[in-house]
Amino acid sequence: MFRRKAKDEPTDEPAEELIDATDGESDPDASELDESAVDADESDLDDADDEDDDLPAELSDQDELDEIDEIDEDVDWRADGPFDHDEVDLSADEVERLDLGALILTPWEGMGLQLQVNEATQQVVAALAFWEQSGLELALLAAPTNGGLADELLEDLTEEAQQAGGSATTAIGPFGPELRRVLPAEGPSGEQLFQVSRTWFAEGPRWLLRGTLLGEAGLTEDDEGASAPFVEFFRNVVVRRGNGPMVPGEVIGMTMPTVPQG
């Protein structure tokens, strides 16, 4: 929709009546979100055993995911967003946006939004955008000035998946190195299912934005198909971190929506 310090003509229509709020833990995890919000149930995942032969074909071939070793470190993965608040002029267009304090979102018509709230602090710690059979969970974390938090999260989430009996691989996505995880899950009748997801990481000035694709979009490998609207949505996120000191990895809380930015 716009680039740093410049905007294209807006094309998306604002979404209406899309806010829902739920209680959650202080450390957001996509697997803990209400699955009905993104319909990430047995209709989206393959019944399977723990063996690689039963995993979705596009995620079971390690050789196809080794391109991470060939990444160009000079690529600016945030050239087209997500953006820092100081990099853009939101007053330059008439697009209606949702202001969540730390994050400013640009929804599209028909998109739903669920906010995950820390019950103890009443702070919004994650936002889940959902549409049809897919969803994208957003969480904002404080990061060190010299970066590097994305690499740490990749390692931690990979280890977490392996300890849970699942698998995790790294590949190049639209925002740089991304994590593709397959986690075991139990169906409503006790059957063995798998939850498949893709996680994006975007590092800005002392912040890291994490986006986790769920449902049908989590089964994709590129920025086409079910993931396409979420790729554009993630690009247009604007981060307003604030200037206060924070511990790297600490969740930066959001607020309930205010009057739309326009």
Mean per-residue pLDDT, 214-232? 93
Of 134-138, 172-176, 183-187, 256-260, the least confident: 256-260
pLDDT of residue 35: 36
Q: What is the pLDDT of residues 179-212, one digit of tens each?
A: 999 999 888 888 888 999 999 999 999 999 999 9
Sign of the dihedral defined by the CA atoms of residues 28, 18, 227, 184, in that order: positive
Q: Say whether pLDDT at 49 is over 60.
A: no
Using only C-alpha atoms, the chain has a radius of gyration, in whole angstroms, of 18
pLDDT in tens, 67-101: 555 555 678 889 888 999 999 888 888 888 999 99
SS3 191: coil
Nearest 5°: the CA angle 65, 76, 262 is 115
Tokens for 238? 């604007």
For residue 110, pLDDT over 80 is answered with yes
Q: Between 171 and 53, whose confidence is greater?
A: 171
Task: Give the DSSP H or E segment for 212.
Answer: strand 207-215
Which region, left, alpha or beta, applies to residue 122 given φ > 0 means left and ψ of -120 to 50 means alpha? left
- Write down the pTM of the prediction: 0.75
Question: What average pLDDT does the structure give for the chain?
Answer: 78
Instruction: Give the pLDDT confidence of 116-141 residue by residue, as tens digits.
Output: 998 888 889 999 999 999 999 999 99
- pLDDT greater at residue 115 or residue 92: 115
Residue 46 near residue 194 (C-beta atoms within 8 A): yes
Q: Which residues contact 19 (CB under 8 A, 6 or more apart)?
A: 113, 115, 256, 257
55 HSE (CA, 13 A, CB side): 22
